């Protein structure tokens, strides 16, 4: 699994909106400036997030975007699935499935299916709230033996 720039920036945008939730609607220009990201690229990402029902938008002078739900109600998994389409480590276990004629006899299929489950479980347990509050202990968990959790 490789998360694309689109997925990483989508998480960045969502975290920025979560941190600035008290300001009402936040302009894309403000997000781009704070996060030092291209407006043009952010427009395409915001469009996906908005169409996916993750945001509310308002046009006009005081318009912009805000989260449709509380930060604790968004998981990293759902944001990345919306922007990436799949988080499967190999094609043969993608959600919509790429049928493989060797699936019944493939000795590595259980490995990939297990890895997919670990990824989904991990990302489903991390919320935007965890990201914006810096909950490193939860984000690192038991997954990183050499990382500091303090």
Count the domains in the chain.
Answer: 1
Instruction: Give the domain extent around 28.
Output: 1-150
Residue 144's pLDDT is 65
pLDDT (tens digit per residue) in 52-101:
999 999 999 889 999 999 999 999 999 999 999 989 888 887 655 556 77
pLDDT exceeds cutoff 50 at 149: no
DSSP state of 89: S
pLDDT (tens digit per residue) in 8-37:
999 999 999 999 988 889 999 999 999 999
Residues 6+ apart with CB under 8 A from 57: 25, 50, 63, 64, 65
The number of helix segments (H) and strand segments (E) in the chain equals: 7, 2
> For 104, what's the count of Cα atoms within 13 Å in the CB-facing half-sphere?
1
Residue 142's pLDDT is 66
Record the pTM.
0.87
Q: Which tokens in the block code for residue 97?
A: 């499935």
Nearest to 80 by CA among 17, 1, 3: 3
CATH code at 125?
1.10.10.10
């Amino acid at each position: 699994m490789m998360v694309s720039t689109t997925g990483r920036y989508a998480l960045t945008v969502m975290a920025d909106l979560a941190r600035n939730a008290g300001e009402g609607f936040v302009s894309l220009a403000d997000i781009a400036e704070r996060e030092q990201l291209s407006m043009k690229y952010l427009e395409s990402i915001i469009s996906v997030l908005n169409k996916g029902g993750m945001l509310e938008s308002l046009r006009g002078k005081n318009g912009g975007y805000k989260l449709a739900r509380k930060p604790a109600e968004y998981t990293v998994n759902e944001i990345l699935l919306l922007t990436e389409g799949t988080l499967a480590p190999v094609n043969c276990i993608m959600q919509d499935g790429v049928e493989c004629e060797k699936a019944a006899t493939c000795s590595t299929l259980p490995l990939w299916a297990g890895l997919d489950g670990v990824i989904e479980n991990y990302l489903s347990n991390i919320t935007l709230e965890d990201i914006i509050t810096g909950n490193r202990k939860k984000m690192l968990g038991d997954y990183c033996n050499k990382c500091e959790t303090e």
